[in-house]
Amino acid sequence: MNATLRHAAWVLRGNPVTLAAGLGVLALALVALLGPSLVAYDPIASNVPQALQPPSAAHWFGTDQLGRDVFSRVVVATRLDLAIAASAVTLSFAVGAVGGAFCGYAGGRLDRWVGRFVDVLMAFPLFVLAMALVAALGNRVENIIYATAIINLPFYVRFARAEVNVRRNQGWVEAARCAGNSHASVVLRFLLPNVLPAMAVQVSLNLGWAILNAAGLSFLGLGVRPPTPEWGILVAEGARFITTGKWWLVVCPGGALMFAVLCFNLLGDGLRDILDPRLRT
């Protein structure tokens, strides 16, 4: 553990972008946890006389068409967007990693069938598939989570299958079987833990993409319903006023969305360097 921490510190010292991305993710997590207590205005309450006011000392991100404080709405929306992304990625990671690991360990016909199913699923444009699922199930938060989890599932199934398939006949796996461990125990106690560190990179990348997917569904009217603060809804509502010079209605929530996706993507690149054993020499 100490060697891993020293290696991580060495990578972060040599790559300040990764360190900045990690701090950005930490800041997003704190905003998500403390957001409602940090804002000075009710993110849903209207104040029509103050509608469409530009950014000022009183309203850092200005106000929207109903006089609601945009900064308060952007901050409060952080919790919902991160919760949707984290829930969807956790669900797809748990199901995909375990299912893919067992398929890769079993091999044979089951592995081929699962591989063909994953290939067919990935052949569809994944965002279009998410749109179809939410349209069929209804645009509720739980359905957005399920749809996002389903379109993320193939990444983990394919990765776990490939990694376990390579390792299943190695000497240490044979030793675990000869020691009396069941097949399930070999997969869950020995093979899967060896695959998880490499999959952490995919988790970070998918978190950014899941945030973008949830915002995109809301932008198209298939996600969270107004007046709930959500980054995609804020961008969609502000897009109607961009031609009249009310730039803050799009730039501020869009900037928050871009910052979150960028931080998770850059953190994924840093995790790849930290977990790469070739960089530990």
Tell me how far apart the alpha carbons of residues 129 and 137 are, in angstroms, rounded to a whole number. Answer: 12
Specify the 3-state DSSP secondary structure of 63. Answer: strand
For 123-162, what is each residue's pLDDT tens digit? 888 888 889 889 888 888 899 999 999 988 888 998 888 8
**CA 82-142-127 angle, 5° bins:** 75
How would residue 244 be classed by pLDDT, with cut points 50, 70 and 90? Answer: confident
Provide the pLDDT for residue 247.
92
Provide the pLDDT for residue 262.
92
For 190-206, what is each residue's pLDDT tens digit? 888 888 877 888 888 88
How would residue 10 be classed by pLDDT, with cut points 50, 70 and 90? Answer: low
Is residue 265 classed exposed, middle or buried when 0-12, 13-18 and 19+ CB atoms within 10 A define those classes?
middle
Q: Which two tokens stand for residue 211?
A: 């945030």
For 168-192, what is each residue's pLDDT tens digit? 888 888 888 888 888 888 888 888 8
Provide the pLDDT for residue 276.
57
Tell me how far apart the alpha carbons of residues 110 and 104 are, in angstroms, rounded to a whole number. Answer: 9
How would residue 11 be classed by pLDDT, with cut points 50, 70 and 90? Answer: low
Whether the CB-CB separation of 34 and 47 falls below 8 Å is answered with no
Provide the pLDDT for residue 226.
82
Q: Tell whether the model's pLDDT for residue 74 goes beyond 60.
A: yes
Q: Tell whether the model's pLDDT for residue 164 goes beyond 90.
A: no
Q: pTM (2 decimals)?
A: 0.87
CA distances from 1 to 69, 177, 275 (A): 46, 27, 12
Provide the pLDDT for residue 177.
84
Q: Tell whether the model's pLDDT for residue 241 goes beyond 80.
A: yes
How would residue 31 be classed by pLDDT, with cut points 50, 70 and 90? Answer: very high
13: Cα separation from own chain's centroid: 26
Q: Which two tokens stand for residue 167?
A: 């390792």
Residue with tokens 């776990």: 160
Helix pair 2-14, 248-275: axis angle to 10 deg: 130
Domains and CATH numbers, the chain: 2-280 (1.10.3720.10)
How would residue 121 be classed by pLDDT, with cut points 50, 70 and 90? Answer: confident
How would residue 266 be classed by pLDDT, with cut points 50, 70 and 90? Answer: confident
Mean pLDDT of the chain: 85
Lowest-pLDDT choice from 12-21, 115-124, 250-259 = 12-21
How would residue 252 be classed by pLDDT, with cut points 50, 70 and 90? Answer: very high
- Position 54: which residue type? P
Provide the pLDDT for residue 84.
93
Provide the pLDDT for residue 55.
92
Provide the pLDDT for residue 108.
79
How much of the chain is in helix, strand and coil states, percent to nearest 5? 80, 0, 20
